[in-house]
Amino acid sequence: MNFSFHPDAEAEFLEAIDYFEEVEGGLGLQFSREVFSTVDRIIEYPSGWSPFTSQTRRCLCKRFRYGIIYKVTNDELRVFAVMHLSREPDYWHSRLSN
């Protein structure tokens, strides 16, 4: 299965990597690996997580307080948000129409 990030989701992912790297050298790389590990779990079990909205599901990262908001259509996984769990939960909804 192929996967892609919505442009805004990719931007927030890269911003989070930069933030963690500023906190501690190497932590940004660890965060990046955790996100891609989470994406791999989703690809392996795309229906393995409960619906988050009527169109999406959310899979939580194991180590970091982030969730991956995604939708599977045909044979593609589309990531709509790399969301910090303390952030307002609906901020990314407009991305579904893009």
List, for residues 50-76, the tens digit of each pLDDT value: 999 999 999 999 999 999 999 999 889
DSSP state of 51: B
Q: Which domain holds residue 60?
A: 2-89
Q: Is position 95 within any domain?
A: no
What's the whole-model pTM score? 0.92
The pLDDT value given to residue 61: 97
Q: Is position 66 within any domain?
A: yes
pLDDT in tens, 34-44: 999 999 999 99
The pLDDT value given to residue 88: 87
Q: Is position 96 within any domain?
A: no
Q: Is position 98 within any domain?
A: no
Domains contained in the chain, number: 1
Pair 59, 46: CB distance under 8 Å: no
CATH classification of the domain holding 79: 3.30.2310.20
The pLDDT value given to residue 90: 87
